[in-house]
Structure 1
Amino acid sequence: MTDRRALMIADRRVRDTARAVVEADFAHLKANLSRKGLSERAMDRVAEGAQEVYDEAVEVASDNKGALAAIVAALVLWFARNPILDAVFGDEDETDAEDD
């Protein structure tokens, strides 16, 4: 019976120590969150992620300048396609009006 009592006392000490560690962690978390809220932390994480993506994009762009120039040229041509087509082939409305 003495062994069981000693084991119970040792187990209680371990439990109390573990509980004290958990309570200390919880108090630390509360203090940390009171300084900086969850939304602010989330925004910081998003900003850090965006910065990493930007840095990676800059690195890739500097390594592939020719491909980047081709993409930019394709985008310019795409957005300017209607004025370019009108200049080359003429405006369809004008030719329809001349036929009438």
Structure 2
Amino acid sequence: MTSRRMRMLEDKHLRDSARALIDADIKTLKSNFAHKGLGERALDRVREGATDLYDEALDVAEDNKGALAALIAAIVVWFARHPILELFGIDTDAEDEDDGYYPRSEH
């Protein structure tokens, strides 16, 4: 056999091997999609992402306990601001009253 013919046969075998690998991959993908639909796969990815995000939030919270406590305290104080101000004798209803300013009407 000539060297060209040998090279051609080697190339053909490589091509056939590559084609067999691709066919096997396509067959595997088809069987995977047959078991799980696209919506179910998307839901699984969202669940994985939410779990990863939750784990990361726990790690950050453990590393920054002081900042987290300050944030929670600030939120509690914000929602309890009216009763707290009333304890100090500050009238919170005064802020809600009308200041007497009325814009001019364009008649």
Deviation at 1:68, TM superposition (A): 1.6
Flag structure 2 segments of 5+ consecutive residues without an equivalent. 99-107
Letter aligned with residue 37 of structure 2: G
Q: Distance in 2 between matches of 1:94 and 1:23?
A: 73
The letter of the residue matching 1:7 is R
Identity, % of aligned pairs? Answer: 54
Q: Which residue of 2 aligns with 1:26?
A: 26
Q: Distance in 1 between matches of 2:5 and 2:27?
A: 32
Whole-angstrom CA distance in 2 between matches of 1:32 and 1:71: 46
| d(CA) in 1 for partners of 2:60, 2:69 | 13
Question: Aligned pair 1:89/2:93, yes or no?
Answer: no
Instruction: Tell me which residue corresponds to 2:56.
Output: 56
TM-score (norm 2): 0.69
Superposition TM-score, scaled by structure 1 size: 0.72
